[in-house]
Structure 1
């Protein structure tokens, strides 16, 4: 035998002990435990020891439950797309798929009869989960008759114990809002209504389990999640465990024969209810940790792009994506991955003025600091800044290489002297800085920021480096952005939204929600010396050829200051600017690289500060009309800018790159390129970077979508043909090497830091945030795949007890690729019959919007309730239990349906829809039913509007519905299940309009009343425990302003808004609540409590399942009462006057 090598010999003792994993979702039967680790199912015993892997698919298998006979495991897996229900033998074997719903089907357990119990949102109109049982042999399913539930258990007598409420995505401890989880009992063998066993405000009571004649459940009524027991009628509650706030929370739990298996932290524990013995299972995994091995990421520029910067000499660019930085150029130039330590995040990068080095924002020190490293990738990184207490967000080196200006998340502006790396704060803003640009001679910098948060318009400032005093150059009447110095330091161009031409200047018209001001931007310029003639000014007899003098009178030209010996001389530059905002760090200075003239030795002129704000000019309309512009740049000969289709878009919105010559010929702007997301000009003015983007949009750095990078010669048009190809930067095949464990460590720390920096309360709701990190960080080495990291972060963030605390995984790096084979639907409900699938309901679409109807309700189709689908594309429907099984991978494709009506067989070709569209059709059916119910019950006197959320599409929904019912006597606005947004003020403003006068012509066809479309009737707003975020703000506003009556249930309590600025480098996020709300009385609003209705109305689970809507009925009844007490009356027309 060969002797082992020393390295192998040294590793032998460690290898003898299999490692621990991160354990979740345990299931118990007898002495067998099944759980999830590494995204797979494993089996072990209640004694612990080495576990056996049951599944190997690259997707995540979770929520295991063992059958009553101990032979089968049911679980949830996302193998072909959405999570579905599967079963497999307990000893391993081929899994069998049970559901084909296209929704997230979550396994809950088994019934005594051997059916799988699961929860799904597939069958509810308004988004809600329901409990379903399915026979694993026949796939026959039964909806349990309760309206909303996520968890439950059925006993042998047909008693269903189920849970309503409970936060589905937020992560909290000690939650006390309207969505607290509660336990109910329903006799499935009778028609009786369900009975509550626990009630608010006792706390959250969830994960109900049967133990003989008693119920065991998890409750936080003591302030911490503990196991409790009670009788089956809810009496005699008794606490079993005594965990406190310093312990990890009890999470997933299952019971069998008087023992409970559950997770705590990353461990599985076993609790014997009779003896009280609580044991942690020492489980070991024999595994190669496939998901933790080093691998390559190919989609960084599509999914995780952060920013790009052009070198001052115009030869290369530096790109930041997924926490990495790469230097690349055109043609065959070598691509250089900057040598930054694995497991760190680079948020932004920019070249030094000599193009030889790169400054990066990187967190290798544990905080985001600025480092300098060689652009050729050879050499170590050198720290430029130290001692950061919060996240740094943007930076811009001065053209002479002496200074570096940078910002942080606290909206502070810093200046670093690069001779000794000393930093000083030079400004502070109420909100994030806009653009920061250096003057070509490095004597000053220009930047934009707000004067106050209330008004929000960014104001233009300049600051001399010598005295560091900001000089305000514009007012906050308008917004200033997009800054560009000319190379000779004579002019500072900027954009401002000062042109206000309303697209609808009249208050009349269909669905007129007020004037809209598009195309507000014009280009303006400040003369930096006195006595200059504006280059766009028309010729006259006093100018020689219409050109401005070469030098302003009395102002001697200067040359750029000498560069320090440590840095080679930099060419004359204009507008070296801050790098893009760091991904996930909120707004920060936007990209505005240096722009300079074609002559590197161009003279620059000192700034004349006296009266600078008075020397304001505007590019004439004849040359450039107002538009939606952003990102202005100049090479001294032309102005370059991006025009977008609509105003107010984020920096990542692509548009058309245009340019205009800086002359007085009134030459119109010319189109350079389309689909442009970014434009930059090199410091020498000879080159320009154009980033074209297709697809995606939004998000840090412009969000997703394919990107192409080009370095062109500056000019009105890009090169064509072979020259265009040679201008392309070769980065499409760039791949990033990823060490997952290093990245997980970084993202855990980053999520913690970002929460520290963004959470609205600096005291973190009274918790020691450092101690919380110390509590959870020791579990990090046990993480072995991305969703486990998300789970760990969710536990950590729950400690501060705030909503808007969702954790989302980013682009998962997993071995194995699986096609996303989604199911499809026909916009209808079906039931299994002998011949196939019977149509039980065709979803009602909007009657006057035929294009939005489902496949079976399209014009020209002849389907009816009772028809039986017998075959799809020739495949018999009698052989399947669910429609989705025959419609896999058929969304958007024509299929041939064979169906029977009585004894007549027919055929039709339809196009199935994907699950999201099917869900939308089901939701619309619910809305249409409610609207028709209100119309019929009120004989057309009341209107009904449902708002699903408070986002841009919901403004359209409000406009469509409100302006067709604004003249009704009563109005119900239904925000039950509304999951938020930010448009509450738009809707409240429209509802606040009041009629005070009427118009009348001799023919009786006057314009109605003034104010137009004012609602004059009685208002009811329906709310429930799933009303969330801005749905709650809207409801609280209605209540505090006395505009209507709130009916329903206490809302969720998500009162602190956010900007989603805490993104992680792989695209994941641990959301932080950023903007708290308090009332005029000085009290915090909504957060953690919710909005309390004026009239509380429950939704009985069984009656609601059967179609009753007690809250809607209460709203109708209340409007009847109000309108009877105070009927809406029209004033009589007075007699015409005699004059």
Structure 2
């Protein structure tokens, strides 16, 4: 029987009670504090605040929607340095600590994060990725308080930098952390477990704070003692260190982690559990500060918003009068012509999903979590007369509605645990139709279903053991399924003809190379499918048979009896698979088949993978085709399409185009799409209620999609109870994200991330870059180096390396657009809003400008790839030089598209080498790189002798000599698996440092209601011996080599040097396997 929305299952009652917990008395989610004497500074809701050191007299210093972070008092306490993300760029700012207008110090489009001050207060220290070719490292810079252009302190990487009071020592961590930004990963024990290094600022020598396999960070000085945060205990705590005493524990707030800390030399202020705490270094007293803020929180204010950018699903009503749209957690119906947009669900603070029409069009069904768990809701067209049903009596939370069936008496749906199910709306009973053996995230096309015109039959596809999808036919009358295909093809996208005579579908017999797309070997593999029709009746005929016009006897049925009634569909199951007809269309990548009311077959034709590389890939690259059964020919009727569907009566089509734009058109040979009017698709959003829903949804998604149902033994309900009260202090969407990151971090696994969502941001103002290193010499800015980016990168912009641009290394840049550049100016300031625009430079070979000239250039928005390719090419040339031309070099930035492309570009061009270094440092992962290991494992099979030219062999694309792989702590995910496979297959040795250690994969759970992303780890990898692989451990190298700062600052790469040496040593004993000469040519016939 139907149940009302107020009925809950027992465990849901506890959750509902937790949702209603009272707000905390003081404000939480205070973070990033600093202290100077009797004043503190901290961040709340994206703004900088100050208060007395006892927590009294709090006052907000910054305002607006920009994200302000990392406030740092100057040594005299009069000025605050902080980072702020304004106009899409994170830069360093200054402002009086008493309040006032901020002053911008940096302008480079790289991310600049304040670290502190020099002891004399003349300069601000900050870290930035501006000169790094990948996004997993920073370097240390300083900039004068009075402005100018920043100066890089050293080439070596640096994070969390702090100078000792006398400026003689620099404490910092040399690598990033796994638990950072969008990634929640407490107690990480893989490769990203940084130590604290203390460097002598004069000699460059360093010592390491005694370091277990844990993460040490945020060093701060108090006289000669160093304090820092570390997760070497069960939670992040505060520790102290000096050379005489070693390391000692100071304080912790278990179970909360200390998130950040700062010191004025006498006291240390830190945040944990959203509260600020003050620890006195002399007395050892630890005090929790109570702050009750009265902030202006514009993001928290209810407001009407357009939700056009939040559309999740859309479907035409049976006759195309309206479109049901799921957007921002509500179900709307939108008229094509007359009437108003209706909010059918209208549930503030709840989320609705996947709205579908009944066959008659008088009802709508959708999912709602208003009860605390997602349930099925059915209403009339106006949203009234609603009834609800529980779709599961277990902890299953997520479903996707397929549609009404069996004369609207049942509803089909899929759940998050691989089941295709049906619920009887009369009895409330749920039956399972099919269960997929594996999740289809990485498979072509996903699942597809189609109902017969009378709703009595269901055609659906199910993944088979060989990754091919099999087509089945399910009878609602018998409750049984009949296979239509046998697994020798990949069959999907079924659709019935309106008269019930045919079932059309697509099927591919070459899909094997592109199935299970988690493997890199599926990259750029074509997917060629043909179109087929199954004749459903024994006495039926092919839709392609020649037609003959004949007179027919008059029908006894009155016209008034015909109407729009769908005929009962008769299907003869015996021999049905043999009644297969192939349509005369080319084999291509087809999907989304649908039949119009005139019998024409519409379908989507998508580009083949790897067919071309476009600089600006479209999000709607496909075209709609129409196969005319009468004419037996296909034609294109629309392009620039992402997807489409037809109304139940087959007369109208709904088209999704670029940027998810919706339009409708007649299902004809010449459709004229008309944009769906969504101007009034608006919703009054109460952020406080929506944020609670998002927080709860994130918690539920982890519970429902995490690969281990036991949550690794974690009391997940207890985690909710501990974190839920903090939601009441959320002041911005970014605060909510940070809270979710901390909550999911309790699971202590990789790939567990949260980011995005509806956060206001100022319009980006892109700062243009010249693709060059610039330094101050002789009182003027001078070009130190010009980056070309490699001449074989067609879409890489190198502004000063363009032929015809008269600019050289050593030239001075004296003015930008006629405005002189002084030594005290920030070089990048005049380049604001110039990316992609013409800029006039005044150049000269002399600092006095006597031989100056004007040169027009077009700055680029990013130098990252220019610098990356410069680093790659320099490494390749270095390896070639040092090895005497014997050893090749291949760099792999990830194990996805770029890694595939880089490998093919670099490896096959160096097959003349005797050995090779594969460099996967900072590898961002992506896929299982079996393609790369397959190629590297190729063995010599045979040789070829031509009358002319040299002998060559097969496989031609192979390198038989020694191979080594460089790895480091920033290589992870697919970058963990690749070195594992490299060693497991015996390809060669691993050199460098332990990898990241994240082999629990992601990519299946739904997005959050406001478009935010949560990546729940839903699949875990184990090795060939049946043991869990690398997760929170990493891949340990065969030869450990660290990049020490002094050597790096001298331009050395010890890891690369050791790799070259290892290959050369192995070459000394390597015996070539390929013959350079052929056997003697026979001199007798028949040999």
TM-score for both structures, normalised by structure 1:
0.87
Aligned to 1:297: 305
Correspondence 1:353-502 to 2 at 5 A: 353-378=359-384, 380=386, 382-383=388-389, 385=391, 387=393, 389-390=395-396, 391-398=398-405, 400-430=407-437, 431-432=439-440, 434-452=447-465, 455-498=466-509
* 1:277 equivalent in alignment to 2:285: yes
Indicate conservation of the 8 Å contact 2:513/2:521, yes or no: no
> 786-795 or 761-770: which moved more?
761-770
1:954 to 888, 895, 899: 899
How far off its partner does 1:380 sit?
4.9
Secondary structure (helix, strand or coil) at the match of 2:359 reads: coil
Aligned to 1:1000: 945
Secondary structure (helix, strand or coil) at the match of 1:283 reads: coil
How far off its partner does 1:1062 sit?
4.3
The change in CA–CA distance for 1:310 and 1:234 in structure 2 (over 3 A counts) is farther
Indicate conservation of the 8 Å contact 1:671/1:717, yes or no: no
How far off its partner does 1:138 sit?
3.7
How far off its partner does 1:162 sit?
0.9
How far off its partner does 1:283 sit?
0.8
Aligned to 1:656: 623
Indicate conservation of the 8 Å contact 1:967/1:1013, yes or no: no
> 266-275 or 1087-1096: which moved more?
266-275
Aligned to 1:158: 168
Secondary structure (helix, strand or coil) at the match of 1:297 reads: strand
1:194 to 203, 206, 218: 206
Aligned to 1:713: 666
Secondary structure (helix, strand or coil) at the match of 1:1118 reads: helix
Aligned to 1:829: 773
Indicate conservation of the 8 Å contact 2:607/2:621, yes or no: no
Correspondence 1:603-1002 to 2 at 5 A: 603-619=567-583, 621=584, 624-636=585-597, 637-646=599-608, 653-663=620-630, 665-666=631-632, 668-685=633-650, 687-694=651-658, 705-710=659-664, 712-719=665-672, 727-812=674-759, 814=760, 818-849=762-793, 852=796, 854-878=798-822, 880-902=824-846, 903-915=850-862, 918-982=863-927, 984-1002=929-947
Indicate conservation of the 8 Å contact 2:106/2:150, yes or no: no
The change in CA–CA distance for 1:445 and 1:848 in structure 2 (over 3 A counts) is closer
How far off its partner does 1:500 sit?
8.2
Indicate conservation of the 8 Å contact 1:86/1:99, yes or no: yes
What stretches of structure 2 of length at least 5 have no aligned partner? 1-21, 441-445, 515-519, 612-616
Indicate conservation of the 8 Å contact 1:152/1:207, yes or no: yes
> 124-133 or 735-744: which moved more?
124-133
Aligned to 2:236: 225
Indicate conservation of the 8 Å contact 2:125/2:142, yes or no: yes
Secondary structure (helix, strand or coil) at the match of 1:883 reads: coil
The change in CA–CA distance for 1:429 and 1:261 in structure 2 (over 3 A counts) is same
How far off its partner does 1:953 sit?
2.9
Aligned to 1:1042: 986
> 67-76 or 386-395: which moved more?
386-395
Separation in 2 of the partners of 1:652 and 1:853?
A: 23
The change in CA–CA distance for 1:235 and 1:867 in structure 2 (over 3 A counts) is farther
1:240 to 225, 246, 250: 250
> 422-431 or 764-773: which moved more?
422-431
How far off its partner does 1:943 sit?
0.9
Aligned to 1:565: none
1:245-280 per-position Cα deviation (integer Å, ceiling 9, x unaligned):
xx2111011112321111112211112233332222
Indicate conservation of the 8 Å contact 2:876/2:890, yes or no: yes
How far off its partner does 1:140 sit?
4.9
* 1:346 equivalent in alignment to 2:352: yes
Aligned to 1:701: none
Separation in 1 of the partners of 2:610 and 2:944?
A: 37
Indicate conservation of the 8 Å contact 1:145/1:1106, yes or no: no
Indicate conservation of the 8 Å contact 1:145/1:188, yes or no: no
The change in CA–CA distance for 1:16 and 1:456 in structure 2 (over 3 A counts) is closer
Correspondence 1:479-558 to 2 at 5 A: 479-498=490-509, 518=526, 520-538=528-546, 545=549
The change in CA–CA distance for 1:388 and 1:18 in structure 2 (over 3 A counts) is closer
Secondary structure (helix, strand or coil) at the match of 1:49 reads: coil
Indicate conservation of the 8 Å contact 1:396/1:436, yes or no: no
The change in CA–CA distance for 1:751 and 1:256 in structure 2 (over 3 A counts) is same
> 644-653 or 179-188: which moved more?
644-653
Secondary structure (helix, strand or coil) at the match of 1:904 reads: coil
How far off its partner does 1:537 sit?
2.7
How far off its partner does 1:39 sit?
1.2
Separation in 1 of the partners of 2:775 and 2:603?
A: 59
How far off its partner does 1:515 sit?
11
The change in CA–CA distance for 1:682 and 1:1021 in structure 2 (over 3 A counts) is same
1:1100 to 1038, 1044, 1050: 1044
1:193-219 per-position Cα deviation (integer Å, ceiling 9, x unaligned):
322223342x21111111122111111
> 385-394 or 1021-1030: which moved more?
385-394
Secondary structure (helix, strand or coil) at the match of 2:699 reads: helix
> 1055-1064 or 89-98: which moved more?
1055-1064
* 1:214 equivalent in alignment to 2:161: no
TM-score for both structures, normalised by structure 2:
0.91
Separation in 1 of the partners of 2:361 and 2:454?
A: 17
Indicate conservation of the 8 Å contact 2:521/2:930, yes or no: no
Aligned to 1:252: 260
What stretches of structure 1 of length at least 5 have no aligned partner? 1-14, 504-511, 560-570, 573-597, 695-704
Indicate conservation of the 8 Å contact 2:602/2:627, yes or no: yes
Aligned to 1:1011: 955
Separation in 2 of the partners of 1:500 and 1:1066?
A: 36
How far off its partner does 1:808 sit?
0.6
The change in CA–CA distance for 1:1109 and 1:256 in structure 2 (over 3 A counts) is same
Secondary structure (helix, strand or coil) at the match of 2:661 reads: strand
Indicate conservation of the 8 Å contact 2:93/2:106, yes or no: yes
1:306 to 308, 312, 318: 312
- The RMSD of aligned alpha carbons is 2.9
1:796-843 per-position Cα deviation (integer Å, ceiling 9, x unaligned):
11111011122212231x3xx633112111001111235531111212
Aligned to 1:315: 321
Separation in 1 of the partners of 2:210 and 2:553?
A: 85
Indicate conservation of the 8 Å contact 1:1056/1:1087, yes or no: yes
The change in CA–CA distance for 1:529 and 1:1046 in structure 2 (over 3 A counts) is same
Secondary structure (helix, strand or coil) at the match of 2:958 reads: coil
Secondary structure (helix, strand or coil) at the match of 1:852 reads: coil
Secondary structure (helix, strand or coil) at the match of 1:48 reads: coil
1:178 to 154, 175, 191: 191
Indicate conservation of the 8 Å contact 1:27/1:35, yes or no: yes
The change in CA–CA distance for 1:774 and 1:19 in structure 2 (over 3 A counts) is closer
Secondary structure (helix, strand or coil) at the match of 1:1020 reads: strand
Secondary structure (helix, strand or coil) at the match of 2:156 reads: coil
Indicate conservation of the 8 Å contact 1:632/1:639, yes or no: yes
Indicate conservation of the 8 Å contact 2:149/2:827, yes or no: no
Aligned to 1:333: 339
Correspondence 1:1063-1102 to 2 at 5 A: 1063-1102=1007-1046
How far off its partner does 1:444 sit?
2.2
